[in-house]
Amino acid sequence: MKRSIVLVAIAAAFGLTACTSTPASEQNAAPVTQQPSTTAPSTSVVTEVVTTTVTNPPAPQAVAKVDNRLGYGAIKLGMTLEELRAAGLTDLAWEDFSHGCAADDKIAVSKKKGVERITLPAEARTSKGIGVGSTFAEVKRAYPSASEYRAGWSARVGDNAIYAFTGSAELDHFADTDEVFAIKIGAIDTDCAMAYL
């Protein structure tokens, strides 16, 4: 019996050491200690590349020059014949005239002073509502400073311009009931002969 107890005690001691012993490969390894992690948390970095094709930049827009000269539509008093031709406003040419003026039924142009007369189209009206067919009484009401001249009535409109409201060539004097046959805008300081005005 003593022998059985001794065997059981040896077996138990042997079993305990077998269960608690460290395997041989780990016995020779350095002891592992738990250290806090020092690596930073992982962060995603997104890089966006924007590319732009560079070509010649657009030219700056030219500032439109405002022409404040008195006139009708694109034709202004004082414009040169070259300006009129470049804008496609006339076919007149200096070679067709033997003196310093070029004229047709729409305009008269001086080499020295530019456009001196503009004949308005029949459907045109002045800023005060006077047009072909208006009476001279209406002209006088719209332009109180108007005065009679050999071909009708005229009214100053600006520093160097007049409206010429012409009547019938058959009349020497124009009554209030007579009608306007044509309207012209003319420069006061002119170089062309009166026939062109």
Q: 84 lies in a domain?
A: no
Instruction: Taking residues 35-53, report their average pLDDT.
Output: 58
**Phi, psi at 138, each rounded to 5°:** -65, -35
Tally of domains in the chain: 1
**What does the pLDDT average to over 130-154?**
95
Judge whether 76 lies within some domain: no
Q: Which long-range contacts (C-beta less than 8 Å, at least 24 apart) are formed by 146-150?
A: 148/173, 148/174
The answer to the question of residue 135 being in a domain is yes
Tell whether 2 is covered by a domain: no
- Residue 46's pLDDT band (cuts 50, 70, 90): low
Strands 114-119 and 182-187: antiparallel
Other Cβ atoms less than 10 A from the Cβ of 185: the count is 24
**Residue-number span of the structural domain to which 103 is assigned:** 91-196
- Going from the C-alpha of 107 to that of each of 71, 84, 118, 121, 197, the distances in angstroms are 11, 10, 5, 11, 9
- Residue 19: pLDDT band by 50, 70, 90 thresholds? very low
- Residue 165: inside a domain, yes or no? yes
Considering Cα of 73, then 74, then 78, then 82, what sign does the dihedral take?
Answer: negative
Side chain identity, residue 90: T
Q: Which residues of 110-128 are buried (b: 16+ CB within 10 A; e: fewer)?
A: beebbbbbbbbeeeeebee
pLDDT of residue 98: 80
- 67 lies in some domain: no
Higher pLDDT among residues 15 and 82, named by residue: 82
Q: Is residue 176 part of a domain?
A: yes
In a domain, 102, yes or no: yes
